[in-house]
Amino acid sequence: MEAAAGGVDDMTKLSYLHEPGVLQNLATRYELNEIYTYTGNILIAVNPFQRLPHLYDPHMMQQYKGAPFGELSPHVFAVADVAYRAMIHEGKSNSILVSGESGAGKTETTKMLMRYLAYLGGRAATEGRTVEQQVLESNPVLEAFGNAKTVRNNNSSRFGKFVEIQFDKQGRISGAAVRTYLLERSRVCQISDPERNYHCFYLLCAAPQEEVEKYKLGNPKTFHYLNQSNCYELVGVSDAHEYLATRRAMDIVGISTQEQDAIFRVVAAILHIGNIEFAKGKEVDSSVLKDDKSKFHLDTTAELLMCDSGALGDALCKRVMVTPEEVIKRSLDPYNATVSRDGLAKTIYSRLFDWLVDKINSSIGQDPNSKSLIGVLDIYGFESFKLNSFEQFCINYTNEKLQQHFNQHVFKMEQEEYTKEQIDWSYIEFVDNQDVLDLIEKKPGGVIALLDEACMFPKSTHETFSQKLYQTFQKHKRFVKPKLSRTDFTICHYAGEVLYQSDQFLDKNKDYVVAEHQELLSASKCSFISGLFPPLPEETSKSSKFSSIGARFKQQLQALMETLNSTEPHYIRCVKPNNVLKPAIFENVNVMQQLRCGGVLEAIRISCAGYPTRRTFYEFLHRFGILAQEALEGNCDEKVACKRILEKKGLVGFQIGKTKVFLRAGQMAELDARRTEVLGAAAKTIQGKIRTHIMRKKFVNWRKASISVQAIWRGRLACKLFDQMRRVAAAIKVQKNQRMHQARRSYKHLNASILVVQTALRAMAARNTFRYKKQSKAAVKIQARYRCHTAHVYHKKLKRAAIVAQCRWRGKIARKELRKLKMEARETGALKEAKDKLEKKVEELTWRVQLEKRMRTDLEEAKAQELSKLQSSMEALQAKLDETSAKLVKEREVARAIEEAPPVVQQTETSLQSEKQRADDLEKKRSEEQQANEEKQKKMEETDVKMRQFQEYLRRLEEKLANVESENKVLRQQAVSMAPSKILSGRSKSILQRNAESVHVSSGDSKAAPESNNISSPKKEFDFDDKPQKSLNEKQQENQDLLIRCIAQHLGFAGNRPVAACIIYKCLLHWRSFEVERTSVFDRIIQTIGHAIETQDNNEVLAYWLSNASTLLLLLQRTLKASGSTGMAPQRRRSSSATLFGRMTQSFRGTPQGVNLSLINGSMVSGVETLRQVEAKYPALLFKQQLTAYVEKIYGMIRDNLKKEISPLLGLCIQVPPFLVRKVFTQIFSFINVQLFNSLLLRRECCSFSNGEYVKAGLAELEHWCYRATDEYAGSAWDELKHIRQAIGFLVIHQKPKKTLDEISHDLCPVLSIQQLYRISTMYWDDKYGTHSVSPEVISNMRVLMTEDSNNPVSNSFLLDDDSRLFMLPSIAHIMLTIPQKKSIPFSVDDISKSMEQIDISDIEPPPLIRENSGFVFLLPPPE
């Protein structure tokens, strides 16, 4: 039989049944994800290392239910169905043997078998849990406590398992039992890198936090039994999720909550036991606990096991020897104490595992009335490592037993077939491995017997045991002694040679419990633990009969073989295609070795040695009867006909049975080749005859058809000719009438058009003349207005230039005066002169106020006169308008009376137009006058407002003057008490200097004004006040207290500007707090902010203080500069800048000059207060750094709260700077993108068509929200969803199989990697329309690209990381001392400064608490 392109499903159908053909067939099917293949009745399962859920869904189970074996594709369900049907129909028990090396997929295959058997024999759940549910859920429990990661497999079963599923007479599951064999106890205490210990230890460390704290656990790296290997986690497996799944499985199996707690308490106790370390004691060969850490773990272990801590320590460090005379306590050295510790841990874990198996069996329940069962054997495969110990010896011993059973069964089937057909088969050889089994288990000279004998003698060691083996088996062909080792030995198994290290054979073979351990744990207060160690019977404790693991395992294996021999076996051989545990990789050498180890090639060899090809007589004659037609003539026997055909073709070595023809290997291929030749020759002859017949038939049909077509066509031509002649005659007549009609219509149309054109031309000429006159008149008016405007603009520029020149000249004079005043200030009377000048300035301002009042009165009188004039002109215009309207009425009546005189009418119309034009002009003048009147009215109102502002400003100047006088009194008192030589030293000199600097502005203005306007006031004498004055420092402290109480309140916002930040900044700038060396105001402000944000859940307070802190930080960023910078003024002393007089004189520097200029220009000048650079001292710089840290902290708090609950905070972020809001939403959308995309890749139920449509609708809502929020707040948040948008777009597109890899990776999903695309393509399933994913070609191309990128660890990861905290502000060491927690934010202070616009703080209204205080007058906005 020729091999199909995709391979054959049964390898006995291959034409060439040998190793290369078998290997090629398996590789071809594996590339197509056809992982199952038959070899006769044997099923070969190749591990795909990936999920293939379509092979195991309920629909697939329904297809294989009741289907004959071999009718459908090979499948594990087919083997289970055959076993079930055989049990039902024949009433005999069956067994399914699943074998293979570690990592080949035995455990998963066993799960599928049990699922299918539960599907066939299950029943609807009534009350409680069904048997099949408990059987299926027992797998996770046993895997958690009996499976571990090895070098070859991440979930390797470290015990053998035989599951007996019992059925009643109706074929329904009535009970079940689990038998386990040889748990690898040594793994509890010793593991090698990169393997792991049993899964349950890691699951418990990943349990919820309350469980971890309850058992005093932590990271697996902290426990000795787990940190011997660097592997703590499995790729793609979450230990936390597996812990919860194991808990649920325990509930289903029937383990109560109290028992579960006790189980995990025992597991935690084993971990703590491993951390108990010993050191040498004071006595010889004694040991004590090494340190306090060991003491802690000892107490924790005693607490978990509910026993006495001291007794536990004695049980580990001491031994009791009972003699007839006395009881002797012997101490153990640290090494033996460690061995005792590990022995206790192994014993406890072994007892716990046995209890779990017994609990599962008792919970499931067994049916004593069941007559038939199906057993599923999942046992470890053949193992050969670099270091092979007692566990590998027992595992390979088991595989030898199973291989013998397999060979006997295969040979038995061949024997039964040949006997049934009565053919000669005696020359077929059969290879038996009985000699290896005799080497291992034979008594009294087997390896196991010698090991038990060595264990019975106390002084025996592994060296004496090895020498005993060398002496006993030195001539055995299956036993080899290595040349370079004195303790190792090699056994030649059926699968190859294995080198064993006998170092730990004796310790691992001993099966006993230390009496001290037994006594300690049996007395535990926990009933569960005491139940694991029941008191031994008195005769048992006194008995000295030896018990070993090897002997017990041999008995269990013998019982298993008896069970298998009593059942009808079915074989499944699992194959691991590669050692890297990755899909789409098929290693030929590795697979060939496994096929040899599994006996598959041995079965093929047996088939090849006999007659691998067999066909019934009917099938053979039906296929090969054409090779000898004469053999089928007559009524000859089928057997004779088959023999004639074979003899005619010259075949030898075949045999004819009773119903079948048996052929040697290769003979079927030879017959197929000759049959193909005969069929080819016959096909050529048939094709020639058929083609001749077809062409003759076509020719006759074509000739008949052509004659009929000619006759019909000639009649059709005659009809067309007659019809054409009749149409020509009719057309001539129609054309004549039509032409006549068109000529008449064109004449009439031309006549009417000429009349219309003449009328239009005459009207157009009249309109052009009128339009020209109108445009000329308008041009003259525009020219006049433009010339007036040009002159006015020139006048304004000239006036502005004159003002600028005056300002600069006055500034120059003022600077000269300033220098002069500085020189004069050094004299003794400078203080009095400054005071006199201030008084003169106040008198001058008073005079100007009076002048402004007189000007306002004159302006109101002029306004009233102008209004009266406008009123009279409006009445005159109204009278002219009425007169013009009456004339128009009369002219219209005259126009109706003289219609017959066209020249008179045209003159009347011309006059009428001129009158209308005149009336329109008058109306325009009236409207312009009215508009001018309204503008004058507005100017008057503005003048009133400016007047009120000026009065308010005057009041503030008076208050400032009062403060100056009060400070002068204080200074005079100080001057009286000081010596004359010290009057001008220290603080007074700086005050005089600043007074001189502040007064020069007013003196300059007074000089620039006319001499007539200068009003001198009488000088006031310096008199002393007897009342006590308040200290300046006390007044400053009061102002600071008032500011702190004010900002502690919620002051709100003024035009999107936080009021508190602006008030703080203006106060600090006015008080010159940035320039002083020591001040406490900064610390008080920081403490106020810290107290306000103590409640982290109050997001409204956090948003308010984030806005204030960021705004204040921005103002400091643009104002402060470091001390010592170039271009800065000399540093002023703190004493002068901190005094009230210094601050008051500082406030007079720029204000009076601007006021004078405003009065000179005749209008108020307003502008935004600019931020000037200030030389900052250390307290100011420290304050700025503390603000930076608080912005970072508040932002982090808002971000964390916002992740918890986004919606309530959207309204609170309106007043926060948009830059911060954009950053918040960008990180939130990035978090959404990571969570949705990772869920899509990890959960197959999310990777469906309907889920894609659902998520797409949600993304549309987010996009609509971003559009409504605008870029000011949303920013680039929508771009953060690029991964999930492209992935969802790929899920919901149609016709995916038609898409190429280039279209998917470059057009549809350019952002996604090949690993992510491959993950989505393989996990996709259409639950709505049933469509398929991308084509197999695209999948294979993706695999190739993934293989090329396999060395890149970054490209291998298909999940996204949460990068929401990648950016941080620069760390500030000394700020960390004052702020308890620092959170990262994705921006810097410079980013805030660049993103926010210039902040105008000049028009911020102070709160009522400080508005009326004279110390905060500088916060009030000055009059324009």
Cα 272 to Cα 282: distance, rounded to the nearest angstrom: 25
State the catalytic residue, choosing from 40, 103, 599, 1004: 103
Query: Amino acid identity of 1325?
Result: W
Q: Among 178, 106, 105, which residue's Cα sits nearest to residue 136?
A: 178
Known active-site residue 94 = no
624 and 673 Cβ atoms separated by less than 8 Å? no
231 and 196 Cβ atoms separated by less than 8 Å? yes
Alpha helices (H) in 326-370, listed in sequence order: 334-364
Helix (H) or strand (E) holding 573: strand 568-575
CA dihedral 561, 564, 565, 567 (to 10 degrees): 170
**Tokens 């060296």 sit on residue:** 463
State the catalytic residue, choosing from 34, 195, 383, 516: 383
Query: Amino acid identity of 1098?
Result: N
Q: DSSP for 732-747, please give it.
A: HHHHHHHHHHHHHHHH
Known active-site residue 530 = no
109 and 45 Cβ atoms separated by less than 8 Å? yes
Q: Which residues contact 370 (CB under 8 A, 6 or more apart)?
A: 166, 167, 168, 174, 175
Q: Rounded to an integer, what is the distance from CA 707 to the centroid of its chain?
A: 80
Cα 918 to Cα 1204: distance, rounded to the nearest angstrom: 76
State the catalytic residue, choosing from 39, 102, 110, 1364: 102
**Which token pair is 1266?**
């971003």
Q: Among 1373, 1344, 1403, 1367, which residue's Cα sits nearest to residue 1166?
A: 1403
Known active-site residue 381 = yes
- Neighbour count for residue 801 (Cβ, 10 Å): 10
Would you say 1142 is a known binding-site residue? no
Q: Among 619, 608, 618, which residue's Cα sits nearest to residue 667?
A: 608
User: Peptide bond preceding 1408: is omega within 30 degrees of 0, i.e. cis?
Assistant: no
CA distances from 531 to 256, 314, 526, 527, 790 (A): 16, 22, 8, 6, 113
Query: Amino acid identity of 97?
Result: L
**Tokens 């003539």 sit on residue:** 633
Would you say 103 is a known binding-site residue? yes
| DSSP E strand stretches across 1091-1250 | 1120-1122, 1174-1176
Q: Give the chain's largest Cα–Cα span.
A: 168
Q: Among 48, 988, 1278, 1353, which residue's Cα sits nearest to residue 585?
A: 48
Q: DSSP for 807-866, please give it.
A: HHHHHHHHHHHHHHHHHHHTSTTHHHHHHHHHHHHHHHHHHHHHHHHHHHHHHHHHHHHH
Known active-site residue 95 = no
Q: Rounded to an integer, what is the distance from CA 912 to the centroid of its chain?
A: 84
- Neighbour count for residue 883 (Cβ, 10 Å): 12
State the catalytic residue, choosing from 160, 375, 381, 446: 381
Known active-site residue 107 = yes
State the catalytic residue, choosing from 95, 156, 524, 1110: 156
Would you say 105 is a known binding-site residue? yes
Known active-site residue 157 = yes
State the catalytic residue, choosing from 25, 157, 509, 548: 157
Known active-site residue 153 = yes
State the catalytic residue, choosing from 41, 139, 150, 153: 153
Would you say 27 is a known binding-site residue? no
Would you say 146 is a known binding-site residue? no
Cα 510 to Cα 458: distance, rounded to the nearest angstrom: 12
Would you say 1061 is a known binding-site residue? no
Q: Which residues contact 633 (CB under 8 A, 6 or more apart)?
A: none
Cα 218 to Cα 210: distance, rounded to the nearest angstrom: 11
3-state helix, strand, coil in the chain (%, to 5): 65, 5, 30
Q: Rounded to an integer, what is the distance from CA 230 to the centroid of its chain?
A: 27
Q: Among 1059, 1070, 1064, 1040, which residue's Cα sits nearest to residue 1150?
A: 1070
Known active-site residue 103 = yes
1167 CB-side CA count, 13 A: 8
1421 and 1412 Cβ atoms separated by less than 8 Å? no
Cα 220 to Cα 275: distance, rounded to the nearest angstrom: 12
* CB-neighbour burial class of residue 956 (10 A; exposed 0-12, middle 13-18, buried 19+): middle
Annotated binding residues: 100-107
Which residues are tagged catalytic?
102-103, 107, 153, 156-157, 381, 383
Annotated binding residues for ATP: 100-107
